[in-house]
């Protein structure tokens, strides 16, 4: 912060990026406040939690909140195509895909680029080698993908969203929806004893 203050006095700004800012306690978050107010730092905080609950109100009131949504299946397919073509990815290798494989990876990843790229890597490593080519079939992909990656966090916002969906389904006597939400919770490792 000392360096940021010196930069401010020279007319320069310091950009401070904090990943998982929700892990900082209130006192730690409060420590940034005077520097944000004076303009010594431009604070960018990233969190997977709801900032209204996890970032202290004084800091939040001096911030602009941007909500990032999960990627669509089309976005994931485009990302996978780039990874396949890019020389820093698989561009140097000759890889063939059975029709629908990239879409299947995109659906499996549930909007998570990291899951999609890791699945692509596993598919390439386990693909059928045919001379210089590596062929990825749907059947081969299914051997890698055992079940869909579900977005779920045991203590975070998605946890409460899914509990809420289960409660609403039960209140509305929607048996199918109730079974779906309960199954999703159990598949994600939820403890049956909710607090």
Asked if the structure places residue 67 within a domain, the reply is no
Let me know if residue 16 belongs to a domain: yes
The confidence score (pLDDT) of residue 104 equals: 93
CA-nearest of 47, 43, 46, 48 to 59 is 43
In the block, tokens 């390439």 appear at: 124
State the DSSP code for 21.
G
**How many Cα atoms within 13 Å fall on the side-chain side of residue 15?**
2
Banded model confidence at residue 83, pLDDT cuts 50, 70, 90: very high
**Token pair of 3, please?**
């360096």
Q: How far is CA 24 from CA 37, 68, 81, 156, in A?
A: 19, 21, 38, 15
Kindly state whether residue 68 falls inside one of the protein's structural domains: no
Domain limits for position 27: 2-61
Sorting pLDDT into bands at 50, 70 and 90, what band is 105? very high
Q: pTM of the predicted model, to two decimals?
A: 0.58
Give the chain's domain count: 3
65 closest CA partner among 83, 79, 52, 84: 52
Does residue 122 fall inside a structural domain?
yes
Closest CA to 97 of 144, 136, 140: 136
Over 60: is that where the pLDDT of 148 sits?
Answer: no
Contact 13, 7 (CB under 8 A): yes
pLDDT at 76: 96
């Amino acid at each position: 912060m000392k360096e940021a203050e010196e930069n401010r006095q020279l007319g320069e700004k310091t950009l401070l990026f904090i990943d998982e800012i929700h892990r900082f306690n209130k006192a730690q978050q409060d420590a940034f406040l005077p520097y944000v107010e004076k303009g010594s730092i431009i604070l960018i905080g990233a969190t997977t939690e709801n900032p209204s609950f996890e970032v202290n109100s004084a800091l939040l009131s001096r911030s602009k909140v941007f909500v990032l949504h999960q990627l669509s299946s089309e976005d994931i397919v485009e990302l996978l195509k780039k990874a396949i073509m890019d020389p820093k990815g698989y561009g140097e290798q000759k890889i063939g895909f059975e029709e629908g494989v990239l879409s299947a990876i995109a659906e499996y990843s549930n909007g998570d680029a990291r899951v999609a790229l890791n699945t692509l890597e596993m598919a390439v490593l386990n693909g059928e080698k045919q001379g210089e080519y590596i062929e990825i079939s749907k059947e081969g992909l299914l051997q890698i993908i055992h079940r869909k990656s579900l977005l779920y966090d045991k203590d975070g916002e998605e946890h409460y969203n899914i509990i809420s969906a289960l409660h609403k389904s039960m209140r509305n006597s929607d048996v199918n929806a109730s079974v779906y939400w309960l199954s999703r919770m159990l598949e994600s490792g939820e403890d049956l004893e909710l607090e």
